């Protein structure tokens, strides 16, 4: 149980275009989802916290107009990278917390974004 999926697993896009990444909790309801970014050989950096039905909370330094997050249901959150640039190329990972489970979060497999 507690499986989180991400789609796509990898994507290549041209500079200036927008890309949408989906994060789904497959067998549980996630009231809270988190989006992380990971550069090669580095740790995970939290970008934003997403609660179902409300606006996402962004970490300091993360542009909310560039990284649009929508958490429309208890099983789906999306991250849209708008007007992507090569410096946005990274590994994007989401995680989901089960409602009522105080400390647990389950990670998706990640999405590799390459902007050319």
Applying CB under 8 A, does 3 fall inside the site for another protein? no
Applying CB under 8 A, does 12 fall inside the site for another protein? no
Query: In this chain, which of 90, 95, 113, 115 binds another protein, going by CB under 8 A?
Result: 95
Edge-first strand listing for the sheet containing 19-25: 4-7, 19-25, 76-81, 67-73
Euclidean distance between CA atoms 62 and 9, whole angstroms: 22
Residues in 32-91 that interact with another protein by CB under 8 A: 32, 34, 36, 41-46, 49, 91
Q: What angle do CA 37, 105, 28 make, to 5 degrees?
A: 115
Cβ at position 116, least distance to another protein in Å: 19
Q: Is the peptide bond before 113 cis (omega within 30 degrees of 0)?
A: no
Kindly state the number of chain residues that form the binding site for another protein, as judged by CB under 8 A. Answer: 25
Which residues are near another protein by CB under 8 A?
4, 32, 34, 36, 41-46, 49, 91, 93, 95, 97, 102-110, 112
């Amino acid at each position: 149980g507690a499986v989180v999926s991400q789609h796509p697993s990898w994507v290549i896009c041209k500079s200036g275009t927008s890309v949408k990444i989906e994060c789904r909790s497959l067998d549980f309801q996630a009231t809270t989802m988190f989006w992380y970014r990971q550069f090669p050989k580095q740790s995970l950096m939290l970008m934003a916290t997403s609660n179902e039905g409300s606006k996402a909370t962004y970490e300091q330094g993360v542009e909310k107009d560039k990284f649009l997050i929508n958490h429309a249901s208890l099983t789906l959150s999306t991250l849209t990278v708008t007007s992507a640039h090569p410096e946005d190329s990274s590994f994007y990972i989401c995680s989901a917390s089960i409602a009522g489970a105080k400390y647990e979060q389950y990670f998706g497999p990640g999405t590799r974004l390459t902007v050319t």
